[in-house]
Amino acid sequence: MSVVIEQPRSPRSRNGANWEKYGWIFMRASGVILIFLVLGHLFVNLYLGEGIKAIDFAFVGGKWSDPFWKVWDLAMLWLAMIHGTNGMRTIVNDYATKETIRKALVTSLWGVCAVLITLGTLVVFTFDPCPAGALPELLPSFCPVNAS
């Protein structure tokens, strides 16, 4: 078996930080914040206005020209990715029977998590709602090409 379960109520035998405990606390704290971030995200993007029909490049451009939505989406990206990856880690720990496979899966999970958080963060920070040379009708109405 890959996981050694200690006797209940035995004193802690390891030294150093108790990462499992911090993970446990993080799942609950991030979960409570994600309720507002994720349900608010679904409400604004899928329920208000024309819902899914209205979502296109100009819609995203409009939202991300407001720092409020940039901060919202960045917080949601980081918290949901870490919460989801840590949840998947728990599941892998539960079901993987070979230690090498368990290690490989957990390492891949955090690798994918790091790549997607980096990608998503760069996208939000380097986003240009009015890229040069794009078709004007695909851009938000506030772009200079659409001003006249």
Partner 1 sequence: MPSLPAGTLYRGKVGMWSWVLHRITGVAIFFFLLVHVLDTALVRLSPEAYNAVINTYKTPLIGVAELGLVAAVLYHSMNGVRIVLIDFWRKGVKYQNIMFWIVVSIAFIVFAIFTPRHLSHVFG
What is the binding site for partner 1 (CB under 8 A)? 28, 31-32, 34-35, 38-39, 42, 46-47, 50-53, 55-58, 60-61, 77, 80-81, 84-85, 87-88, 91, 112, 116, 119-120, 122-123, 126-127, 131, 134-135, 138-139
Q: How far apart are CA 124 and CA 60, in angstroms?
A: 10
Which of partner 1, ligand HEM, none does residue 74 bind to, with CB < 5 to 8 Å depending on kind? none
Q: Which two tokens stand for residue 52?
A: 């899914």
Binding site for ligand HEM (CB under 6 A): 24, 27-28, 31, 34-35, 38, 80, 83-84, 87-88, 90-91
Whichever of 5 and 15 has its CB closer to partner 1, that residue is: 5
CB of 28 to ligand HEM, least distance (A): 5
Query: Which amino acid is present at 72?
Result: W
List the one residue out of 90, 112, 117, 96 whose CA is nearest residue 26.
90
Q: Alpha carbon 9 to chain centroid distance?
A: 36
> 106: how many CB neighbours lie within 10 A of its CB?
16
Q: How far is the CB of 127 from ligand HEM (least distance, A)?
A: 22
Is the four-CA dihedral 113, 115, 116, 122 of positive or negative sign?
positive
